[in-house]
Amino acid sequence: GQNIDQPTEMTATEGAIVQINCTYQTSGFNGLFWYQQHAGEAPTFLSYNVLDGLEEKGRFSSFLSRSKGYSYLLLKELQMKDSASYLCAVREQGGKLIFGQGTELSVKP
């Protein structure tokens, strides 16, 4: 079956670093995506990992360990505008993109 787990909520302080974890068990694996979503809007692409290791893109980094079924999204130098929902999604064989329940991040001053 499919199971993608991430924390429901997290709170962090402006300027700090936050790590959002995601564990997955899916029928086949063909890459892992992280998206940012504000309420009532479409998800915005943040990162994509298909091989083990760290992908860095500005203030955002994403890590993948396929053997552990584990990924994390690292956000540095947090800004108030980073308050949003962060979605972990796994692409299965055949192209289906399955989402975790999302992590609601609140950035406080």
Partner 1 sequence: GAVVSQHPSRVICKSGTSVKIECRSLDFQATTMFWYRQFPKKSLMLMATSNEGSKATYEQGVEKDKFLINHASLTLSTLTVTSAHPEDSSFYICSATDRSLNYGYTFGSGTRLTVV
Site for partner 1, rule CB under 8 A: 33, 40-43, 45, 48, 87, 95-102, 104
Name the residue nearer to partner 1 (CB basis): 10 or 98.
Answer: 98
Give the Cα separation of 68 and 47 in Å (integer): 19
Polymer length of the chain: 109
CB 85 within 8 A of CB 42: no
Residue 24 CB, shortest distance to partner 1, in Å, is: 13
Give the Cα separation of 98 and 92 in Å (integer): 8
Name the residue nearer to partner 1 (CB basis): 37 or 66.
Answer: 37
Name the residue nearer to partner 1 (CB basis): 76 or 85.
Answer: 85
Residue 38 CB, shortest distance to partner 1, in Å, is: 11
